[in-house]
Structures are given as structure tokens and as C-alpha cells.
Structure 1
Amino acid sequence: MTTPLIFIDGDQGTTGLQIHQRLHGRTDLTLVTLPAEQRKDPKHRAEAINACDIAILCLPDEAARAAVASLHNPAVRVIDASSAHRTQADWTYGFAELNRQQAQRIASARRVSNPGCYPTGAIGLLQPLLAAGLVPRDYPISIHAVSGYSGGGRAVVDAHEGDNASAAAAFQVYGLGLAHKHVPEIQQHSGLSERPVFVPAYGAFRQGIVLTIALQLRLLAPGVDAARLHACLAQHYASTAYVKVDSREAAKNLERLDPQMMNGSDHLRLMVFENEGQVLLAAVFDNLGKGAAGAAVQNLDLMLV
């Protein structure tokens, strides 16, 4: 019996390299990549993508759209790690823990769009609470997040690791036009009826994310408190392998959150903090793990079953 052919298009980028490392040496699949002289050749890329069983696209958005447009073999299945298809109805959203049916949807899908790094944390916190009716869909959500600089792509990585690394900013907030490309993805897949405010930032560390969402209990339905919010998240993720919700007691004992605490793992760690009518929802994870390559491999494994 032949093993499935897995083609990584864009295996030299940050996410592609991580996926390649995770799949290298596996005997249940055959990994296909292009040699350096063929990586940017449309003909060779089209031939490779149409000859594989599952293609993993680790490309800029426009290049990912072009790769999909080059497909003429209906048997090829695709995992797209770019943001090109994350809000399209004919693509299955690759967050397996979104609901009880999502893992099976991914397993049988022809087209899977891998979640963005920031949306993984935001949707992971919000979707269960909105679905349960504990947070109104029109709540004025504000999301603050800090990522390692590897989330910024090659230019940002070069700024921190290249010849002029000493001049790189230690911390910088961006997306000040409040139009970050992840906002539609967060709104759609969390179930918000209104556009959330999203304020991202980069720190001078390579990888890791801490993302927080503050809630005022007075704006929620009567009887909704931190305990109910926590119980909802804990129940939603109770049987999942990659999402863990800290106990309320564990959260009380935390005095600070290190965005790098989950680095090297594919786990999403969620927490609920509380004080005098205010709640802080928090997510910590590796932007190259559950936020990118780890999620892609998780989706691939579902599709290979």
C-alpha cells in the first residue's frame, strides 16, 4: 500500500520549515518539496500540487490563491496556512476544537483553511461563551495580544535576527488603523455580530503569544459571573487533547503571564481571571505551534485517518 504524498509549497518560510521538521522522518506519509531552483517556477509548482494527495500551502495570500487556481486534479486536498481562504464558506475552518463536529468536518474536507495565530486564541476564548449565550454577540469586544516577532514574517524576523538586530524595537504596537486582516476571521468564527477592536503587538522574543480579552460583568446577563464563564470553557474543552483550561485556583495563583510559557508545544492554554465585577480572559500559546505549524499537522493527521 502506497503512503499518501504530502506536498509542502513554501517549505522555506517560518511555518513551512516548522511543518517540514514535524513531518520529516514519518513513515506513514511521503513528503514532497521542490528543489531551490524550482520553488518559484509556476510550471513545476503546478505539477507538484496536482500530483500529490494533500498539499500544504505556506505562502503569502496571493500566491496561495494562485496555487489553488492551478489545481485541476479533483482528488487533491488542500490545507492553506495563509489567510487567503479563512472566511470563505466553501473552505472548512481548521480549528478542530471549534465545536463537537469540527474535527470530523476537517477529516472529510477537501479544502481546509488553517487558523491565524491571533484568531486561535481569540476564537478559542470567545466562541464557546458566545455559543452558550453567556456573552452577547454584540458585546463591544477589545482584544489585546503580544506575539513573538516570528509572527511578523521574514522582514520582521530579519529586523530582529539580521545584521542590524541591535536596533530592533524591544516592543511595538501595530495595526493602529484597527483594520488588521485577522479581524474578519475573528468576528466570523467566534460568532460576533459586531467587529471587535483588535490591538496586536510584537515583542523582542522569537515566538509565543499572550492574548487577553476584558469583560465587564455588568454588561452580561444577570447571573453570569466568572465561575460560569470558566465552567463553560472547561466543559467545552474537557475532552480535547490540545486545549487546556487552567482551574480557577491555578489562575488565582498566577501573578504574571509569560507569552513564551507554552513555546515548543502544540497546546493552547486558557485562563479566567476575576476581580470585583471584572473578568480577564487569557490565552497563551506558541504562535508557531498551535498558532501555525502545530495546527496544520493536527489537521493533516485528521485528514489522513
Structure 2
Amino acid sequence: MAASPLSLDTLRDADLVASGHRVFEIERDELDRVGGRIGAEFAAACRLVLASRGRVVTTGMGKSGHIARKIAATLASTGTPSFYVHPGEAGHGDLGMITEDDVVLALSYSGESDEVLTLLPVFKRQGNPLISMTGRPQSSLALAADVHLDVNVDHEACPLALAPTSSTTASLAMGDALAVALLDARGFTADDFARSHPAGSLGRRLLLHITDVMHSGEDLPSVSDDASLSAALMEMSRKRLGMTAVVDAQGKLVGLFTDGDLRRALDTDLDVRTASIAQVMTRNPRTIGADQLAAEAARLLETHKINGLIVVDGDNHPVGALNIHDLLRAKVV
């Protein structure tokens, strides 16, 4: 007879919170057990993938299928080409997506999923290395595999021991462990990750360079160091960046004049109508190189609490300028 659900009147927040905590405790304990079994078989699985000239094809039914999809996505984004094939669809044409160079990673907690087992003869005949991930080392899938990854758990977090909970978490963690181990072995870098995520915020931060956001050429505000303050203000108004570079006779940067410098000058007894730019500019200002990342410019602006930067070449000649609004538009910050 089914248990009667608690009414909302008698249901306590503390009971709900305790239930949530219990799930975390059980799954944490199970992850510790599964992690403790990582050893030679795990290393063998990594070596199979590293030796392959193809992709990692993941497959699995039901909840294992959902985990297999996520593992494929994680592998693909961390330097190991991978995709998921539904075992039910594979027998109706999708097997054509799998080449003899591919490694197959098959998930089934019981190790007896009919849809997955049906595909094994095809993989064997084609010569695909097979990595299995199951909770039963003596299951049909585990025994048929070249390498078996054991994700057996003692307890599901589901109190009825029916819904896959700890077991799917363990499988997901094992997939993450595999992806990260391969990432380390391949020397995969943050730049590599960004190239596969160009539309994401990380991609923008890692791929965008100063040259992609700076104002250059006629748009670069610049005056000579013998110019008047009035001339500098006119240059700032024309270029609309709230600042101007100040250069010497050789075209090298000697100072920077900003809106902030103007406000500070107005607080003094200086006659701004007759003052020269050399009297009010900031000498030896912060600069950045054109080949650096836009994210580095954002860090400089934030660290030194400034709103703009002059971009210089190796000889300290200004080649560009940018301000915080340029980085905001580029979604770097």
C-alpha cells in the first residue's frame, strides 16, 4: 500500500532540508568509494583514447544515456573529439557515424542493457576499442569490453533504491575524471578551450586582443607636449574618449591627459586658458601593448582604478587607445 503524502500543513522546512543534506552525504560517500578504485583500468582507458586517431563515441540508454551525452560534451570541449549515439537509433542507420578509428565508451549501470549489448558485435567486427562503464564488473558489457571502469555504488540516494542517483553521479564524475586526465595529457590550455567556446564569455575574454577593441589611426587622440591645454581639450572632444596621449618631438608617449586631470586642474589656481598641456598631464602613465589580451586591459583598469589606456609599440609610440566602455561593448567585463 502506497504511503500517504504529508500535507503542506504538517510538512516542515527542516524535514525538507534534512532530506537534501542526506542526499549530499550519501552521494559524497559513494563518490569517495568510486574514486578510490581509480587505478590501472582508468589509465588503460585514457591510453586507448590517446592512441586513437578517431573520436570517442559515447552511448547508453535511459539515465545512462543522459550521462553519456554529458560526458561526450565535456570531452569535446576539453580537446577530445566526441559525440553521443543513441543505441536505439544506432541500429537504424546511426552506426554509419562510427568509423573504425573511433573508441566507444558504453554506459550501462547494470551492464545488461539490451540496446547496448546488441551493438557489441558490430563494434567488435569493426575493431572499435570498447570502454565500458558499469556498476557490475561481471556483467555482459563489462566482460566484453577492452577496459572496464567500475562505478558500482553501495547505496542510491533515493530512499526506495529505485531512481538512479548515486550511480549516475558516480558515472558523471568518472566521465569528468576521464576528460580532465586526457586534457592534462594533451597539454590542453585555456586558449584551446576558448577556441571551442568562441560565443561564450570565456571565449571573449581569452580570444579578444587589444587590437580588436582599441581606437587607432585617425581615431587615436594625440597632441604634442608643447600644445596648449585648450588644444588638448579640443582633441579630446573630437575623439570622444575622455583622454588624449601627449607625445614628444619623436612621437614617443610622455604623458596622458584625462577628464580627471582636467577636474584636478580646475581645483587649482592654474589659468586653464593659458596653461600648457605639459603643466597638467599625467607623466609616465599606465600603458599596454597591442598584442596583449583585452582581459589584461580590464585587469589594469580595475587594479589601478583608471578609465582608459594608451596602447604603445615596443618603442613607446602610441598606436591606439581604449577605455572601459570599449571593453564593456566587447563584453570583456
Normalization by structure 2: what TM-score? 0.30
Decide which structure has greater strand share. 1
- Bigger radius of gyration among the two: 2
Tell me: higher relative CO, structure 1 or 2? Use CA pairs within 8 A at least 6 residues apart: 1
